[in-house]
Chains A and B, each alone.
Chain A
Amino acid sequence: MSAGTAKLNVTVAEVKPINDLVTRFKFVRTGGGDLPTFSGGAHTVVEMQDGDITRLNAYSLMSNPADRGAYTISVRRDDQGRGGSKFMHSKVKEGMEMVISNPVNLFSLDLRAKKHLMLAGGIGITPFMAQMHQLSMMGGNFELHYSVRTASLGTYAKELAERYPGKVHIYHDDQKEAIDLKTLLANQPLGTHIYVCGPKGMINWVHSTAEDMGWPREAVHSEEFLAPASGKPFEVKCAVSNKVVQVGEHQSLLEALEAAGIDAPYLCRGGACGQCETNVIGYDGKFLHYDHWLTDEQKAGGKHIMPCVSRFEGKTLVLDR
């Protein structure tokens, strides 16, 4: 449980396969009524009861933020993943009751921007769908460059091109099409902000190209949710709650703390938001930091860990929880 993550009881109103990999889910409030409002770029954390395991995965809301009747998300099936997306694809049916968190936005539009330049890769399209709804209602200036593997796996590409004529540019990997990033970034008017969501390589490419070309860091925004990495099991001592917790091979440190009944804060569960930052009291071993939150100095310092994605290898780890 965490501050700012009040829960919503919802019912699955629609399950719609979009292509071979992606399925769309629509949630309405159980018992009727409006859902809380949100802003483009927000995500919700979906709770999944998968047998004995409670899975909590964050998914971007892709519906129109002005529509409080329902939330929709799209889930890409990851057969090599830890099982959350497979659960969504195989177990979630229309009419099922589920619990999701209030929306949280870690990828919001900077509304001081005079132009919003969006760069999406694959399933990274979903936050932009809500943002484009929001901007088109406000008369905002935006442009989407969307890289997909093939036309048939180009989730929502066709309908976006029809909905926003002239503003949507699609690039197909199988036709050797690629975003000409240098030319694109060289010709943007002052006041343009870049937003990128997609695979890690794409995000790094956009950040480093923009930096080389003199773009201010404050004008480049990105979102990447990490799935917690698997690794060797380890043991952690929690000084405040006086518990010793075993972290399993396919379990995150945060999940292990929760399973032990320790009240650990979180928001994104993907190494991005900083909410779960935990002080390290003592350790003998090696940290495996996977988050985007701590600075390199902090990672080397051995005083902090982000339990949602990071792990530990060694003899002892004592946390301030």
Chain B
Amino acid sequence: MSKTEFPPSITSRPVYGELEARSGSGHLMIADAEGAEAILDLAKSVDTGFWAKAHIIYIPKKTGTKFSGQLEELGASQYYAGPSYEAAQGRIRRALQDCHMGTQVYLSGTESLMGQAMAEATAAGIPHTAIQTEHRGSTARRMQCVHCKGITEDVTTDPFECSHCGLSLFVRDHYSRRLAAFQGVRVDAEDPGNIPEKVELFK
């Protein structure tokens, strides 16, 4: 699967690029599912010394072992595969704590993964414009309910039900970098009970 092209939207909606190897004192690469392919593509054009300074943190999700073997064989000085973002979070924080200015951060895969890892990296002190991203795989969204503030992961339909308070929410393109989530607003606020049929917008 190649990188995803999103239709133009409001300025709040994040846009993603294409990973390229940049010079730096270290390379921290965080990916989930098909995001592995972005790293494998980048691997075709890097110098031999690149992987000795690289640390890959990978969450395979539904892809299982499809890419994990190839990623491990790249020979990064540290390779980690974990079951979920939550499980990898401690490692991501520790990796950011240990690196110095000059370290390059590469994020690839779903918006949920890239958004959350971006929030960690900017909190650690890297300007968000200096962090590279490439979208691969599922376009399902991480949503925040503006009413109860609960987060619902992997949203594929519009509207959808908040997994915390149960309201039917309209999926907006309005995005929060702090929360790494799109905003979901009650779809029947003005006409309670009038809930449009669900449409599968994201896969």
Contact = CB atoms under 8 A, between A and B. Distances in A.
Interface in A176-213: 185-192, 212-213
Contact of B100 (A112, A186, A216): A186
Contact of A189 (B24, B100, B127): B100
A188 B99 CA distance: 9
B126 A216 contact: yes
A216 B127 contact: yes
A219 B100 contact: no
A113 B99 CA distance: 16
Interface residues of A, number: 19
Interface in A208-266: 212-219
A187 B23 contact: no
B101 A192 contact: yes
A114 interface: yes
Contact of B129 (A186, A187, A213, A216): A216
Nearest to A191: B125
B101 A190 contact: yes
Given A213-B24, A213-B25, A187 B100 contact: yes
Contact of B23 (A113, A192, A214, A216): A214
A115 to B, nearest CB: 8
Given A192-B125, A217-B130, A212 B100 contact: no
A187 B103 CA distance: 11
Contact of B101 (A112, A185, A217): A185
Given A190-B96, A191-B125, A212-B23, A218 B101 contact: no
Contacts of B40: none
A281 to B, nearest CB: 33
A214 B102 contact: yes
A314 B124 CA distance: 53
A215 B129 contact: no
B177 interface: no
Q: Choose among A214, A215, A218 the residue with the greatest number of B CB atoms under 10 Å from its CB.
A: A214
Interface string B157-192: 000000000000000000000000000000000000
Interface string B111-133: 00000000000001111011000
A118 B3 CA distance: 40
B104 interface: yes
Interface in B7-36: 22-25
B24 A219 contact: no
Nearest to B127: A218
Contacts of A187: 100
B60 to A, nearest CB: 27
Contact of B130 (A112, A213, A218): A218
B95 to A, nearest CB: 11
Contacts of B97: 190
A212 B102 CA distance: 9
A214 B23 CA distance: 5
Contacts of B126: 190-191, 216
A81 B78 CA distance: 57
Nearest to A110: B127
B20 to A, nearest CB: 13
Nearest to B24: A214
A188 B101 contact: yes
14 contacts: A186-B100, A187-B100, A188-B100, A188-B102, A190-B96, A191-B101, A191-B126, A213-B102, A214-B25, A214-B103, A214-B104, A216-B126, A216-B127, A216-B129
Instruction: List 10 tightest A-B contacts by C-beta distance, closest first.
Output: A191-B125, A214-B24, A216-B130, A214-B102, A218-B127, A190-B125, A188-B101, A213-B102, A190-B124, A216-B127
